[in-house]
Amino acid sequence: MAQVEATTERVVAADAETVFDTLADYSGAREKLLPEHFSEYEVREGGDGEGTLVHWRLQATSKRVRDCLLEVTEPSDGELVEKDRNSSMVTVWRVTPAGEGGSRVVVTTTWQGAGGIGGFFEKTFAPKGLGRIYDALLANLAAEVEK
């Protein structure tokens, strides 16, 4: 099994604190940012950053659907980590200042991929697909915080 990694980033015209707070608002803003690939969204504990437990289904392709139950931590300023209880998937959100009143958002998801030929295809194509999903989410985030 090989580790698979997908990274996407975007510069947003809003200060880092506003962007981070919007991403960390699982009981309000976060659900509105999710593109159509996400369904069955439910906050089960907490709702604001550290200590949140959130569920969703992620449909990466027409055949690949992942049932995610994510524990949220904030290991450092400007960083959210979502660890899936149902798999090896970990998503890290980093928000840092970028220029005058702007911020850079970098989202990286890693997981242990399949072995063999299936793993080769997963490692080759899954990061591109997940990148498109996170591009859409980051576009929704920009639209939300740049109002």
Q: Which among 20, 5, 7, 8 is positioned nearest to 96, based on CA atoms? A: 20
Q: What's the whole-model pTM score?
A: 0.91
48 Rama sector, left if φ>0, alpha if ψ -120 to 50, beta otherwise = beta
pLDDT per position as a tens digit, 49-60: 999 999 999 998
pLDDT per position as a tens digit, 4-28: 889 999 999 999 999 999 999 999 9
